[in-house]
Structure 1
Amino acid sequence: MTKQIKTSITINANKELVWEILLDFKNYPEWNSFIKSISGDVKVGNKIEIKLQGMTFKPLILTLNENTELKWLGHLWFKGLFDGEHKFKLIDNGNGTTNFEQSENFSGILVKLFSKSLDKDTKNGFERMNRELKLRVENTKHNQGNRCTTL
C-alpha cells in the first residue's frame, strides 16, 4: 500500500533565502516545532539523523539540488515495513516569492495501519512547519534591512 501527503505554502522571499534557512539545521530548535533536529553530513548517498517528537530515524539522502530540492528515504526498522520518501521542493514564482512544497510518499505493509495518523498528525505537522518556515524566512528578510522589500 502507498499513501502521499503533500503540503505547500507561498513565502514572500526568494528561494535562496528560503533554502538557506531550511538547511540551517542547527537553528531548527528556534523555530521548527515539527523537526526537532537534523544532524550529519547532508550529501547524496549519506545517512543523516532526524529527530521528531518521540521518534528518531536515519534516512538516506537521495537528492540535494541547491536552492531547489532535498529528498531522503527513511525506513521504520527495515525496508518494506513502513518507508517514507520525504521531499522539500522550492519553486521560484518569478515575483519575489517562493512556493515551498513539503511532501512524503509512504509505502510498505504498515501504511494502512498508520493511515489515519498520517492524514491527521503528519499532515498537521507538515503544515505547521510550513507556517513556521514562512514566519522565520519573512522575519529574517524584514530584519535584513537593505534586502527588505515592500511586501
Structure 2
Amino acid sequence: MAKHHLHTEIEIDASAQRVWAVLLDFASYPHWNPFIKSIAGVPRQGARLEVTVQPSGGKAMRFSPVVLTADAGRELRWLGRFLLPGVFDGEHRLLIEPLGEGKVRFQQSERFSGLLVGPSRGSLDRDTRRGFDDMNRALKARVEEGAPERA
C-alpha cells in the first residue's frame, strides 16, 4: 500500500485562541479560504464533517471525514476516505503551536495511504501542497488583519 505525507507551516502573529476561533468559524470559509471551500458539522471527536476542497487549478472534491481529534486551541484532525478503506485515505491535521506571546506556528499536514496514492503523488505534491500553502497564507492574513470572530 502506497503512503505519502505533505507538511506545510507558517508563523502567525496572533494567539492560539484567535487562530482557533478563525479555523472553527466554518461559515466564513467561503469568504477567505482558497483551498477548503466549505466545512459543515461539529468539530467533535467521532463526529462526521462535510468538507469541500478545491486546489487552485483543480476540481472540487467533497468528502465526509470523521473527526479524530478536536483539541480546543491546539489541533483539529480528521480521516477522510475515497470509496473504501485502503483505496485512498487521508488523515488531515491542523495544528497550532504557541511560540511565545502573541505568536504561533500553524501547521497543516496530511498522511495519505492506499492503492491510489502512488498514481496521485504528482498532483498531491503540486496541487494539494499549493492548496495547503494558499490556505496557510490566507489564514495568516485573516487572523492578522483582525477579521471579526463569530461564536
Please give the TM-score of this superposition, normalised by the length of structure 1.
0.92
CA RMSD of superposed structures (Å): 1.3
The residue number in structure 2 matching 1:135 is 141
Q: How does 1:69-148 map to 2 (within 5 A)?
A: 69-140=75-146
- Using the TM superposition, give the Cα deviation of residue 49 of structure 1 relative to its aligned residue in structure 2, in angstroms: 0.3
Q: How many residue pairs get matched? A: 143
State the Cα distance separating 1:27 from its structure 2 match.
0.4
Match of 1:15 in 2: 16
**Distance in 1 (alpha carbons) for counterparts of 2:27 and 2:51:** 12
Give, in angstroms, the shift of residue 40 of structure 1: 1.2
User: How far 1:78 sits from its partner (Å)?
Assistant: 1.1
Q: Does structure 1 conserve the Cα–Cα contact (< 8 Å) formed by 2:69 and 2:75?
A: yes
Partner of 2:32 in structure 1?
31
Which amino acid letter does the alignment assign opposite residue 38 of structure 2?
S
Distance in 1 between residues matched to 2:44 and 2:9, nearest whole Å: 24
TM-score with structure 2 setting the length: 0.92
Query: Shift in Å at residue 68 of structure 1?
Result: 0.3
- 1:46 counterpart residue number: 47
State the Cα distance separating 1:67 from its structure 2 match: 0.2
How far off its partner does 1:95 sit?
3.2
**Gaps (5+ residues) in structure 1?**
145-151
> Greater CA radius of gyration, 1 or 2?
1
Moved segments of 4+, more than 6 Å: none
2-structure distance, mates of 1:42, 1:62: 9
Q: Deviations over 1:33-65 (max 9, x none)?
A: 101100012210011100123210000000010
Percent same amino acid among aligned pairs? 45
- 8 Å contact from structure 2 (residues 86, 113) kept in 1: yes
Letter in 1 for 2:125: D
